[in-house]
Amino acid sequence: MKNKEIKKKELSELVSFFSFEKKDNNNAIYLVNISHLNSNQISILRKNFREENIKMKVVKNTLLKKVLEKNEKFNPFISVLNGNTTILYSKNKGNIISKIIKDFHIEEKSEKPYLKCAYFQESFYFGNKDLDFLMNIKSKEDLIMDILNILQFPMRYILLSLNSLNNNICSILEALIMIKKIKK
């Protein structure tokens, strides 16, 4: 009886997570394979993810498949549901997940955890080959900041030009006033 209640609870959590009807839903979802990692390595990963407020949850493929079938948006995830599956999800920190995974690969000299599939900024990415790409994707906030910085230079130039023009006009007016005074 308890086992059934736990499955129902897990199922309802996954359904609400993948429903994506709320505006504050997570914008980065990674499915990874952490098999062949020892408990110490998994503990290090969990700690690194927790520090960045990234959730990590091991799930059963059959349960996840049932949930994904209810939302067509996530159908690409279904094709990678084999073996060990762990979900990583975060709000506004999609590229941080890939940085943590990549750093772990370098530190541990291993290709695990293996990226099965990632959903970030309305796109899907498959396999470890896409980790570098995911690391370099800028968030919408970063792109806006870049645009503002790019626009800032021309605005400064325009303001300096206007200030210079203002000084030139003042100089011309002063010169005209002096000429007028001399003529009198």
pLDDT tens readout for residues 117-162:
998 888 899 988 888 888 888 777 777 888 887 777 666 666 677 6
Question: What does the pLDDT read at residue 24?
Answer: 46
Total-model pTM: 0.70
Angle at 10 between CA 6 and CA 14, to 5 degrees: 170
For the chain, list residues with pLDDT below 50.
Answer: 21-24, 26
What pLDDT, on the 0 to 100 scale, is given for residue 100? 92
